[in-house]
């Protein structure tokens, strides 16, 4: 089963919790044992599994990436001023794969799935969700 979800982003850099959308797709798939792959389309976004207890961890992720990969010093900035976004997306990666166990994602209590936006705001980010049955 495969579905595309779309979300709007409101910040240049931000993490957006998409866990509930993915849970609904996994539930609708009726897969009991397998995997779900979550893939962000685009060269300036990524997918990350991270804690969602409060906003502090997400803020820390963005702060770390801004310190590691500052804006405005990259060769690619001469083309479209988003060299840092490409590097951040490459570091985070475009996808995560989560086991499906007894019909639910095998995430721990504190794990959530985030779209990581590094070149926003965007009217639409596409995320491809693929659920694969074990058989």
Q: Which two tokens stand for residue 45?
A: 């976004």
All structural domains of the chain with their residue ranges:
2-133
Q: pLDDT for 22-64, tens place per residue? A: 999 999 999 999 999 999 999 999 999 999 889 999 999 999 9
The Cα–Cα gap between 40 and 22 comes to 13
Q: Which helix or strand (DSSP H or E) is residue 20 part of?
A: helix 19-29
Percent of the chain at pLDDT exceeding 90:
97
CATH tag for 2-133 (out of 3.40.50.300, 3.40.50.10480, 2.60.120.460, 3.40.50.620): 2.60.120.460
- Angular region, 9: left φ>0, alpha ψ -120 to 50, beta rest: beta
The Cα–Cα gap between 112 and 122 comes to 22
The pTM (predicted TM-score) of the whole model is: 0.96
Q: pLDDT for 93-120, tens place per residue? A: 999 999 999 999 999 999 999 999 999 9
């Amino acid at each position: 089963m495969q579905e595309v979800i779309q979300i709007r982003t409101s910040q240049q850099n931000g993490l957006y919790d998409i866990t509930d959308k993915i849970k609904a797709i996994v539930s609708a798939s009726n897969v009991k044992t397998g995997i779900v792959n979550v893939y962000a389309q685009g060269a300036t976004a990524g997918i990350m599994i991270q804690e969602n207890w409060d906003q502090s961890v997400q803020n820390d992720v963005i702060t770390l990436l801004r310190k590691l990969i500052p804006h405005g010093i990259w060769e690619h900035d001469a083309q479209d001023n988003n060299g840092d976004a490409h590097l951040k997306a490459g570091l985070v990666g475009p996808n995560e794969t989560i086991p499906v166990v007894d019909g639910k994602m095998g995430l721990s209590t504190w794990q959530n799935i985030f779209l990581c936006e590094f070149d926003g705001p965007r009217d639409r980010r596409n995320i491809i969700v693929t659920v694969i049955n074990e058989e």
